[in-house]
Each structure stands twice: as C-alpha cells, then as structure tokens.
Copies of this chain bind each other. A is one copy, B any other.
Amino acid sequence: MAHDEPSITYSPAAPPDDAPKPAGRRETAAVRGRNPDLTRRQILQAAREEFCESGFDGARVDRIAERAKANKRLLYHYFGNKEALYCAVLSEAYREIRHGETALHLDAFEPEEAMDRLVRFTFRHFLDKPWFVRLLTTENLQNARFLRTLPEVRDLHSPLVGQIQKLIERGARKGTFRANVDPVQLYISIAALGYFYVSNQQTLSTIFDKDLGDFARIQEREAHAVDMVLSYLRTKPR
C-alpha cells in the first residue's frame, strides 16, 4: 500500500523490489572501494528518495549525500548541481517506470479481460511506486520545467497508450466495446482513477477520516475503477 510517513524511503534506483540489501548499512564510497558506477547509482537512488520525500525545494543536497554515504563533493562531480541531479532522477524514473509497463501480454486475453488487467495493473503500478507519483507531482508543481529540458522527452510517453489503442480496436471489432474511443483520453482516465487515489491519499484520508491505504479499501477502489472503465467501453453512445 502506499506511503504514509516521512520516514519511508521511496524505493531504490535499480534493484527496487527484489534485491535484498545485504549488510546492515550502506557503505561509504571509501569502504565500497573505487567503484564509480556504484557510487553514481547510490547517489541517484539517494537523490530519488530525497526528492520524492521532500519535493524539489524541500530536498537537501546534504541529506542526499548522507543517504548515499557519499561525499557531497561527489554529487557535484557526477551531476553538476542540484537541478541536474534532479533531472537525472526524473529521467531515470520515467525510464524505469516505462520499462515496467511493457511486460503486459494482453494479446493473449479477450478484450474485456485484457482491459480489466490493464486497469488493475495501472492502479497497482501507482500503488507500488508511490515515489513515482510523488516525483510526477513535484514536477507538475514546477510546471514541468525540468521535464521539458530532457532530450528524450519525446520517448517518454507510456507504451500503455499503444496497448489501449489495440485493445479498443479489438473490442470494437468484436462488438463488445463501443467504437470511436480516443486512446489518449481513455489512458488519462485510467491513469487518473489510480493516480489521484495515490497522490491525494493523505488529504482524502484526513478529510474523510478513513485510511485509504487500507487493503480492503484499495481492493474496492480497484474494482470500482475496472467497473467504471468497462462500463464506459461497453456502453454504446446513444
């Protein structure tokens, strides 16, 4: 379920969900020996955690260095400055997220079943990667000023849009889905239904005095989102 409190760490850079951290504490650059690649990655990971926890302005370069068990000077050596480091985090985050999105094999399923899976996947994706939600949120608060500067910006859009496109075509041909659905609109809706729940979990939980991170509630939400999307697709416009 999602994050709760400041002490949470917003997931590592490369081996996020799998690799078990071997020893107790991360080693300093000196201890880990001269391993620039590892150092670089650890800085990146520490930066991601810090930026996701505190936003761009709230993030502290000192804390990033501390988290990475690296010398502050190294951040500047490898990345130039705070902004460039943030950009590296942003770029890397998109790359990682997009990579996770390609693994769905929806062709093997009937359109409805496939769409069910896609909606659930998307929701789970945000749920499992709250750091990504927070990073995107941070970036939007900055009016996407860093994202705009990324050279690869054109390649960053989700492969899900393409998958949705194929799905709605299949469904329309089969007659189970309505025709003329805009895949981008649908993608935005699917994303919205999941993202908002995660991004605004804290205020919503507070206002409604309910813990939206509760497992049952999450399942309920997931079912609701699937229901909504499928209802929409099945309904033929009058």
**B-contacting residues of A (Cβ < 8 Å)?**
3-6, 54-58, 134, 136-141, 143-144, 147-148, 153-154, 156-158, 182, 184-185, 188-189, 191-193, 195-197, 199-210, 220-221, 224-225, 227-229, 231-232, 234-235, 237
Most chain B Cβ neighbours within 10 Å, of A134, A197, A209, A228 = A228
Most chain B Cβ neighbours within 10 Å, of A58, A143, A153, A158 = A143
A157 touches B196 (CB 8 A): no
User: A141: which B residues are within 8 A, CB to CB?
Assistant: 55, 58, 134, 137-138, 141
Q: How far is the CB of A205 from chain B (nearest CB, A)?
A: 7
Q: How far is the CB of A95 from chain B (nearest CB, A)?
A: 13
User: A55: which B residues are within 8 A, CB to CB?
Assistant: 55, 57-58, 141
B209 touches A188 (CB 8 A): no
Q: How far is the CB of A188 from chain B (nearest CB, A)?
A: 6
Residue of B nearest to A161 (CB): B208
Contact of A54 among B57, B199, B227, B228 (CB under 8 A): B57
Identical chains in the assembly: 4
With contacts A189-B228, A220-B185, A231-B231 taken as known, whether A139 is within 8 angstroms of B202 at the C-beta atoms is yes
How far is it, in angstroms, between the C-alpha of A204 and the C-alpha of B184 when the chains are bound? 10
Residue of B nearest to A5 (CB): B143
User: A229: which B residues are within 8 A, CB to CB?
Assistant: 228
With contacts A57-B57, A58-B57, A224-B185 taken as known, whether A139 is within 8 angstroms of B203 at the C-beta atoms is yes
Q: How far is the CB of A4 from chain B (nearest CB, A)?
A: 8
Q: How far is the CB of A124 from chain B (nearest CB, A)?
A: 16
Q: How far is the CB of A89 from chain B (nearest CB, A)?
A: 14
With contacts A141-B141, A196-B196 taken as known, whether A206 is within 8 angstroms of B153 at the C-beta atoms is yes
Contact of A192 among B144, B154, B192 (CB under 8 A): B192
User: A134: which B residues are within 8 A, CB to CB?
Assistant: 141
Sort A-B residue pairs by CB-CB distance and give the 4 closest, nearest first: A192-B196, A144-B202, A57-B58, A57-B57
